[in-house]
A = this chain, B = another copy of it.
């Protein structure tokens, strides 16, 4: 994102320079007057320089926060080592592929049987356009991105309590909801009911806007015909030559639509976090982890289970068990420590920090999300239903089905996200099942939406985050009240230790939170080290 052009500096270069010489406030002002995306805290990786000769840093956890810290601190001149609990770097930036083994707390073991090239992301799966930190590291480290289809007008929205359980097309529900809203408001305006709120001049323009936006006819009605079918699609599409003539489709009954509650699903693509453009790495989310590992893999010690973190005036001592050698106890020492261990785990580790930080570490419960990846024998959603990527929403426990945003039209097996159980009682019910039982249930529920499920199912994998060793949960669940009481205390540099990860950010559960938190933490740690 900061490539030079022939004429000299990019605006990012300029901003970085301003930031370095005149400080943050001046930089924000400059960003604004340059018309730059003022909203982001990210303006390129930090320019850390001048680490004291021989200064050392121990990074705990080789997820994105840990690897960003290691990369940038090494660039700044520190000697860096990373201790990682598992046999794999990336943490929740993870893709499961054929041949992988997935182990759970409780002992269950799954062996993934996906076809070559197929994968499933149990953790993060999307990168919004305004997650500048993630995008910039992807660009710098050569991670190829492709669009993630968030909104698919031909996918389904489904309620087991509406339309006799028959899934409706997203485009029908959205067009008809918009249309009915536009018609109702036009009617209210026409009857003079908005006169207190809307001026005469604005009313005229508003009516014009509603007509266009809502696909209304010249009398401001949302009615079966080509105007509405050019929005919601046709019963029979226009064709070529002497094929049968097009036939408009019939809008859903307004009352039934409103009662169905299906409108709840049509706003989600409009959320800031899900708006287009939104991306995924080509080949799986862990391509980001792999790209970081290429940079800092030489610093990582795997299968190191941290059991104690101590510090004094001279440095930090971390005690860990070497799981590769039967749990043999070792110690690692450094001048400074960046600890990215999830609070769900860190709260169970003896760490020598102040009372306030310890209270903060203990205060944040973790999410219990569950995902299920299902492989089918063929892409029936494309071949039979013309659904290419995107998400079907349902009130069934599986919550949604997300179709692959890649290799469109490919023959052979393919993997969908068959359940994304985001918190709530269902996540505990599913979490209590054996992994293959979760898969079986996901197929059973999904079959209510795609009757092809039963015949086309091939194999599946499920991940219940609170059962993942080294994670014990999906992400830090802050509330306004815990933020108020604990957030700052959690983020302070405590003598020689600073925490980082999505849990020390205002963007929980997103990789951007982990990266921004890490960049912020190491800048403050570096300042402390130079002080």
Contacts and interface: CB of A to CB of B under 8 A. Distances in A.
Interface stretch (A93-101, A109-117, A289-297, A516-524): A516-524
Nearest to A490: B241
A473 interface: no
B243 A41 contact: yes
Contact of A409 (B1, B234, B266): B1
A48 interface: no
Nearest to A498: B241
A313 interface: no
A205 B239 contact: no
Contacts of A266: 213
A103 interface: no
Interface in A51-83: none
A139 B411 CA distance: 9
A515 to B, nearest CB: 7
A138 B409 contact: yes
Contacts of A276: 149, 151-153, 276, 390
Contact of A205 (B261, B275, B378): B261
A275 B154 contact: yes
A181 B185 contact: yes
A39 B491 CA distance: 56
A382 interface: yes
A198 interface: yes
A388 B138 CA distance: 14
A411 B507 CA distance: 29
Given A231-B272, A272-B229, A40 B237 contact: yes
A107 interface: no
Interface in A225-265: 229-246, 249, 254-255, 258-259, 261, 263-264
A385 B271 contact: no
A383 B3 contact: yes
B277 A388 contact: yes
A323 interface: no
B517 A241 contact: yes
B177 A505 contact: no
A232 B384 CA distance: 36
Contacts of A163: none
A264 B209 contact: yes
A455 B3 CA distance: 15
A229 to B, nearest CB: 7
A271 B84 CA distance: 50
Contact of A41 (B149, B229, B237, B488): B237
Contact of A504 (B6, B147, B240): B240
A441 interface: no
A526 interface: no
Contacts of A519: 240-241
Contacts of A261: 205, 209
Interface in A149-186: 149, 151-154, 171, 174-175, 177-178, 181-182, 184-185
B239 A41 contact: yes
25 contacts: A5-B456, A12-B384, A37-B385, A38-B236, A39-B236, A135-B409, A139-B409, A147-B147, A149-B277, A153-B276, A153-B277, A174-B270, A184-B185, A209-B261, A209-B264, A231-B271, A232-B272, A234-B272, A239-B505, A240-B515, A241-B516, A242-B524, A276-B276, A277-B388, A277-B408
Given A41-B237, A243-B520, 5 more contacts: A39-B237, A209-B258, A230-B271, A239-B516, A241-B491
